Structure 1
Amino acid sequence: MINRKQICLWVALVLASFRSWAAPPDEGMWLPMLLKQMNEADMQKKGMRLSAEDIYSINKSSLKDAIVQFGGGCTGEIISNQGLLLTNHHCGYSQIQSHSSVENDYLTNGFWAMTREEEKPNPGLTATFIVRMEDVTNQILGDVPPGLAEAERERRVQANIQKVRSQATAGTHYDAIIRPFFYGNEYYMYITETFRDIRMVGAPPETIGKFGGDTDNWMWPRHTGDFSLFRIYAGPDNKPAAYSPDNKPYTPKHHLPISLAGVQQGDFTMVFGFPGRTNEYLPSMAIKEIYEISNPAKIKIRTTKLGILDQDMKADPKVRIQYAAKYASISNYHKKWIGENRGLRKLDAVARKQEQEQKFTQWLNQETGRKNTYGDVLPQFEKNYASLANGITLSRDYFLEAGLGVELINLSQGYVQLAYLLQQNLNSPEAQTQIEKLRSSAPGFFKNYNMPTDKKVFAALLDMYYQDVDRSFHPEIFGTVTQKHKGNWNAYANEVYANSSLTSLQQVNELLSLKPAEMLKRLQRDPAVQLTSSLIENYRIKTLPAYTTLTDQNTLLNRTFLQGLREMMTNKKFYPDANSTLRVSYGQVEGYQPADGVNYAYYTTLEGILEKEDPNVADYKVPAKLKELYQKKDYGSYGVNGTMPVAFIASNHTTGGNSGSPVINADGELIGLNFDRNWEGTMSDIMYDPERVRNISVDARYILFVIDKFAGAGHLVKEMTLVDRKTSTPEKPATKAKAKK
């Protein structure tokens, strides 16, 4: 007879199992072409008034036709019928920087093209639309038998991918991207159209576009006007074309109307974009490696590097401009990894994954067939991650972060390659091609390079590399440095930078103008080339083979493990990890509780910017014009009852690559621009927590206000389609947050 205690225990186990395996509300990055069968009903239940075909269709214009992959690493969206493109300020930052100088500083002062002729071209910048998606799993895996050796399997898969891509794009100007999903259990093809004439139209000053800076990065409450404007240009047939003054603004199939209604607690939200990378199905051993080994090492290295850059940037305005984008890029994931580790600890992520793995083991032991198929997966994971933890992971992280984190070493890689080609054949076409490549890239490198700063980074990071990585993984040259300089890395830095031909544009141009034989001799004597060659050779021999073998094995194990999970949980809707392909996530506007006794509301206002203002801190300077508009409450049609909304949060599942993604309301209208996540939710790349994970967005009304009232660029607003359904002022903004820095 079952007693009360046994029943309670059974209920607890069922609930625990449900919590472990069922996708929490709003979790997931879903494939647009599968929304009808996977998500439409749930999305409409949560308030969406669109159909799945309104979001993704190949038969009519749909929301997907307004979404682009911007520059390969961000998302953008079309907001007018004249190709006007909206993305984040930090996504357009390198373009803003490239047009800036000390005399004409668009980073500090902002930029607004008042005519089409003033819009600035950006060589190399692209905007890519998705024409359609297709499940090509059968075409890719149809002739790949189970149990095939992994190397042979990959050879067949790649051959099939090439065949399918060629067939899909033959006779068109389109391209095709085919990516593995669920660790290679499925394959999907994206047919793409890429535009290459993208011009800068507008950007607010850093005091708006970067307000809060690195201090507030990944944090909520937030008051950053993180947006910039570009325009797509096309040839006379409205198709992609190389830059030409004769090109015309692109006429899109669809552009997003912009809502003036704003947001309220509980409103449905949808994010449409190109999330970069998540790893939601990792085993506990992988999470332990990230938490205990990899993240701490990378955090330590970047903390040191950022400290050096910060000091030099504050001391010299030229260095500040040169290193602004680099600093922001380095700082971004530095802070993310800190928050990720904090979130993994708070979720007790390793223990929760171990609990899942226990249930998986119980399931596979129920049948001999399951045990034969899946029985070796978890033990082999244990073995592989133990090997990685024995110095391999740390050696790899230090090579990539500390070794290649030095600009001179990073630059020297190309010259190591040149020396190799010259050794093979002094007059080979390959060597000449490499020389031209290095010659053409050198001006861009040295425009944003300060040798004294890099020399400080060199000494600090290589000292850490030497101290923290096991001696068995040291490059041979470390021994030479130890003997010659008695372990003094500053002395070694002085020697390298004084004698290398790669520390200035003049020296590089002189080197590349030499005859091949003399060039080779100079390269072989160059201390930077010698160091870089030693680092690369060491990594290639001691670290990379073992790391590649183990990670390839883990990829195969993950494929098998995930196949087993999907077989075990037939009622669960699985979403694939992000891989820079177009996805939809959805949730709702809502605040959260980051810590005991602390509650954050879901939105911020202009009042919070003035509360944070500190003229002595670069991150918290406020433009005089913005203060004037605030004092006069001159918000135009964008304010609500005397307040100016700035930002809001929602429970959409996002990651890197979603920067610049539109936040869309229940009617398919733009209500915000995604630009960040909250610090407490950064572990969502590995494990989602519905109580704490929030995406952070600029309110569309604040974007319009800055363009129109602050910048006086109302002609841009006139291009847009505004939907005016006014709402009342929310009760309480999430201000008073400066103490949380």
Structure 2
Amino acid sequence: MKFLKLFLLLFVLQTQAQQGGMWIPSLLKGMNETEMKNLGMKMSVKDIYDVNTSSIKDAVPHFNGGCTSEVISPKGLILTNHHCGYSQIQSHSTVENDYLTNGFWAYKTEDELPNEGLTVTFIVKIEDVTTAVLNGTATLTNEAEKQKKIQENISTLSATLSKENWQENKIRTFYEGNQYMLFVTETFNDVRLVGAPPTSIGKFGSDTDNWVWPRHTGDFSLFRIYADKNNRPAKYSKDNIPYTPKHFLPISLDGIAEDDFSLVFGYPGKTNEYLPAVAIEQIVNELNPAKIEIRDRALKVTDGFMRKDNAIKIQYASKYASIANYWKKWIGETQGLKKSNAVAVKRDAEKLFQQKIIKAGKEKEYGTLLADFEKNYTAIAPYAVARDYFMEIVLRNTEMLSTGYKLYQLEQLYNVRGEQAFNDRRNNLVTGLADFYKNFNAVVDEKVFEQLIELCATKSSKQFLPQSLNNVNAKNLASDVYSKSKLRSYDTLKQLLSGDAKTVITNLNADPGFTLVKELGEIYAKEIAPKYDEINLNITALQRTYMKAQLELNTDSRIFPDANSTLRVTYGKVKGYEPKDATIYSPVTYLDGVMEKYVPGDYEFDVPAKLIDLYNAKDYGPYGENGKMPVCFIGTNHTTGGNSGSPAIDAYGNLVGLNFDRVWEGTMSDIYYDPSICRNIMVDIRYVLFIMDKYAGAQNLINELKLVHSKKKKTVKNNNVKQL
């Protein structure tokens, strides 16, 4: 009986593998691989990452620096989220030819649309370069000097380490500066739009459904990578040819079921899993509420205009989605941190940490860490709030002010570096702002300005408020600024920037839009940024030491590095969850749910007539399951921003879904991962295929794909089933 109990205990420990974590793909051998096998993975870690032979990493490029994508055909076809390709779809849309509303499909390669500035970047290899990066820093006690030396080493190594001439060396920090990794990359600059469903599919549910489950969004778009005749990166040219990838992902038609192994591969942007309790407390009580309130006001104004005017809707669609995304995320994050009692959990962990310090005899090295955190976070609080107010109001949500700040920087450049530097920057600004003003509406922006300046004047600390905003009437100020400032249109902006440097500077300082930004900018530069940066540098040093202590004192624990926009693997299972008492969510949604939410003509929940017809006829082709059409599913994969567009891969290395979101209750996973409620949301790949095939009739694209029945060991091509 004792032997049986021991066996059962060992069995439970082996099968309940760790879920959560964002792991470096080149370092999976060992415990990670064992955990993945215990969760049901059938492939090897060499299938995921290998330098010498093709592997899954060769099919997962970084999409435009902020999302992830995956190669799904031998002709360089890539899949990413609809919201990741949104700005490109928008840029090709007009009122007469509205691809956002109607969708876009290239039925021939010559119809594929080029996108200036759009890039995808592949990882060639990953190497540890910690020793070289930290060379010469051990004796430096001043944090600023240490960071300067590290940056010098990184610059030297990036320029001298081996690579091909079309590749790039990028060095990134891990574990808060305790480890450094080299990424050799290849970036392709000719990436063309191939297909996108209408917004009523690709953004179904819009902001109401964003960050929530159940979800019914077909959040995908298709692009193609083009290369030169040698299959290397090249600028756009009509002579370029579709890229031949080292690896592309087969697509499984078998679908998913609860408890199936799930691997998500991608470029998570930023997490802060190892913050002290005092930092989380500040986020929950001060920083998030301030940012939420600012964006809430801006979004309400913009939404009101977008609902009434289709031209404004097209102009602001991408911008609105970007602003709304993190507004809603911060709300969910705050609620999740409170619900999971994250601050108290961290406080308890810190008591244990302090005991470990004493037990290890490390009081001299680490004994004051937690007290130092309390002191510095208390000191930085007013500056952190003021900084967020400036960033949110001036740089992100009021477009005239953000443009004015660029001109303020232009004046600073003239003062420091003279007329030649001024002229170069001025010319670049005039050229670059042409596209900005195409999607700028002064009437909308004036109303946003009015709301946010009123908030700034009443909620900001008087210590950081310009004299002109004391007791101001926001409506009158908005009317005065927007009627008189030459920042309100591209033509008048060009007039303002005409002439020699002294003339331009004189004219800028007579413009009411510029002078207000200048007041705000100078207070930020003199009163907020220096003190914030000084204290934050102390916190950075503390966090690095804290991370070093965690690694030293928790040798029996698995500690993954925070996300930093580098390639990572996260693994788990397809799994439902229970967000609150008597509420249980299953892990899969179906097209039935789309029809249940359908509101004819609604901004967020309209459904295309053809999709309704396909549903009524149950015409799902080979993509349906038991007479139903799967749409989305959830899993325990630990994801964040940047994982948008990441492939969801099954136990055999086949594509089964496309990551695009997280559940609202678990958005705090950037700070505190709770496996009971943290879930990532994925589009079922069968829904993607159904929309491409049955809805769009893009058989040309379907024919490029390798469709497989991995569980049945069969592959499907051109509707013929062949034995593998």
TM (norm. structure 1) is 0.92
Q: Which runs of 5+ in 2 are unaligned?
A: 1-12, 713-724
Instruction: Report what 2:338 is aligned to.
Output: 345
Amino acid at match of 2:178: N
Q: Please state if 1:446 is matched with 2:425.
A: no
- SS across alignment from 2:214: coil
Distance 1:284 1:516 in 2: 50
Task: Say which of 419, 430, 433 aligns to 2:421.
Answer: 430
Q: Please state if 1:564 is matched with 2:553.
A: no
Q: Please state if 1:722 is matched with 2:704.
A: no
Q: Please state if 1:109 is matched with 2:94.
A: no
Amino acid at match of 2:170: I
- SS across alignment from 1:132: strand
Q: Please state if 1:151 is matched with 2:144.
A: yes
- SS across alignment from 1:641: coil
Contact 1:38 1:573 in 2 (8 A): no
How many residues get paired? 697
Q: 1:690 to 1:170 in 2, by over 3 A?
A: closer
Distance 1:385 1:149 in 2: 20
Task: Say which of 234, 256, 272 aligns to 1:279.
Answer: 272
Q: Please state if 1:139 is matched with 2:124.
A: no
Q: Please state if 1:613 is matched with 2:598.
A: yes
Distance 2:685 2:77 in 1: 15
Kindly state the Cα deviation for residue 517 of structure 1 after the two structures are TM-superposed: 3.6
Amino acid at match of 1:408: M
Contact 2:267 2:642 in 1 (8 A): yes
Contact 2:307 2:603 in 1 (8 A): no
Distance 2:268 2:415 in 1: 43
Kindly state the Cα deviation for residue 466 of structure 1 after the two structures are TM-superposed: 1.3
Distance 2:175 2:36 in 1: 23
Q: Please state if 1:456 is matched with 2:441.
A: no
Kindly state the Cα deviation for residue 425 of structure 1 after the two structures are TM-superposed: 7.7
Q: Which runs of 5+ in 1 are unaligned?
A: 1-18, 728-741
Task: Say which of 511, 516, 521 aligns to 1:526.
Answer: 511
Question: 1:15-30 counterparts in 2 under 5 A?
Answer: 25-30=18-23
Contact 1:476 1:538 in 2 (8 A): no
Distance 1:662 1:475 in 2: 48
Kindly state the Cα deviation for residue 588 of structure 1 after the two structures are TM-superposed: 0.3
Distance 2:612 2:355 in 1: 63
Q: Please state if 1:301 is matched with 2:322.
A: no
Contact 2:194 2:222 in 1 (8 A): yes
Kindly state the Cα deviation for residue 39 of structure 1 after the two structures are TM-superposed: 0.6
Deviations 1:251-285 (A, max 9, x none): 00000000000001100000000000000000000
Instruction: Report what 1:576 is aligned to.
Output: 561
Q: Please state if 1:375 is matched with 2:367.
A: yes
Contact 1:605 1:647 in 2 (8 A): yes
Distance 1:719 1:453 in 2: 44
Question: 1:25-174 counterparts in 2 under 5 A?
Answer: 25-145=18-138, 148-169=141-162, 172-174=165-167
Kindly state the Cα deviation for residue 438 of structure 1 after the two structures are TM-superposed: 1.4
Instruction: Report what 2:721 is aligned to.
Output: none
Distance 1:419 1:154 in 2: 29
Q: Please state if 1:507 is matched with 2:492.
A: yes
Task: Say which of 617, 636, 651 aligns to 2:621.
Answer: 636
Task: Say which of 583, 595, 598 aligns to 1:598.
Answer: 583
Q: Please state if 1:697 is matched with 2:689.
A: no
Kindly state the Cα deviation for residue 617 of structure 1 after the two structures are TM-superposed: 2.4
Contact 2:135 2:153 in 1 (8 A): no
Q: Please state if 1:538 is matched with 2:529.
A: no
Kindly state the Cα deviation for residue 156 of structure 1 after the two structures are TM-superposed: 1.4
Deviations 1:625-658 (A, max 9, x none): 0010011111111112211111100100000000
- SS across alignment from 1:587: strand
Moved more, 186-195 or 466-475: 466-475
Deviations 1:282-338 (A, max 9, x none): 000000000000001111111111100011111211111111011101110011001
Deviations 1:507-531 (A, max 9, x none): 1122233344432221110111111
Distance 1:585 1:303 in 2: 32
Task: Say which of 311, 314, 317 aligns to 1:324.
Answer: 317
Instruction: Report what 2:263 is aligned to.
Output: 270
Question: 1:200-279 counterparts in 2 under 5 A?
Answer: 200-279=193-272
Kindly state the Cα deviation for residue 546 of structure 1 after the two structures are TM-superposed: 1.3
Kindly state the Cα deviation for residue 228 of structure 1 after the two structures are TM-superposed: 0.1
Q: Please state if 1:385 is matched with 2:374.
A: no
Task: Say which of 464, 474, 479 aligns to 1:494.
Answer: 479
Instruction: Report what 2:462 is aligned to.
Output: 471
Amino acid at match of 1:437: N
Instruction: Report what 1:733 is aligned to.
Output: none
Distance 1:232 1:477 in 2: 52
Deviations 1:2-61 (A, max 9, x none): xxxxxxxxxxxxxxxxx9xxx983110000000013411110111101111110000100
Amino acid at match of 1:315: K
Distance 1:201 1:707 in 2: 11
Amino acid at match of 1:176: N
Q: 1:88 to 1:238 in 2, by over 3 A?
A: same
Instruction: Report what 1:707 is aligned to.
Output: 692
Contact 2:56 2:247 in 1 (8 A): yes
Kindly state the Cα deviation for residue 420 of structure 1 after the two structures are TM-superposed: 3.6
Contact 1:293 1:393 in 2 (8 A): no
Distance 2:129 2:413 in 1: 40
Amino acid at match of 2:670: D
Q: 1:301 to 1:24 in 2, by over 3 A?
A: farther
Distance 2:364 2:25 in 1: 36
- SS across alignment from 2:657: strand
Contact 2:262 2:571 in 1 (8 A): yes
- SS across alignment from 1:712: coil
Contact 2:271 2:640 in 1 (8 A): yes
Instruction: Report what 1:411 is aligned to.
Output: 403
Kindly state the Cα deviation for residue 423 of structure 1 after the two structures are TM-superposed: 5.3
Amino acid at match of 1:90: H
Distance 2:355 2:554 in 1: 13
Contact 2:294 2:452 in 1 (8 A): yes
Distance 1:224 1:476 in 2: 48
- SS across alignment from 1:649: strand
- SS across alignment from 2:30: helix
- SS across alignment from 1:723: strand
Distance 2:135 2:410 in 1: 42
Contact 2:423 2:501 in 1 (8 A): no
Distance 1:88 1:717 in 2: 18
Distance 2:703 2:526 in 1: 60
- SS across alignment from 1:276: coil
Q: Please state if 1:668 is matched with 2:653.
A: yes
Contact 1:423 1:520 in 2 (8 A): no
Distance 1:78 1:280 in 2: 30
Contact 1:403 1:462 in 2 (8 A): no
Kindly state the Cα deviation for residue 476 of structure 1 after the two structures are TM-superposed: 3.7
Contact 1:89 1:210 in 2 (8 A): yes
Distance 1:693 1:31 in 2: 21
Deviations 1:571-604 (A, max 9, x none): 1111000000000000000100011000000101
Kindly state the Cα deviation for residue 386 of structure 1 after the two structures are TM-superposed: 1.0
Q: 1:488 to 1:373 in 2, by over 3 A?
A: same
Distance 2:135 2:417 in 1: 44
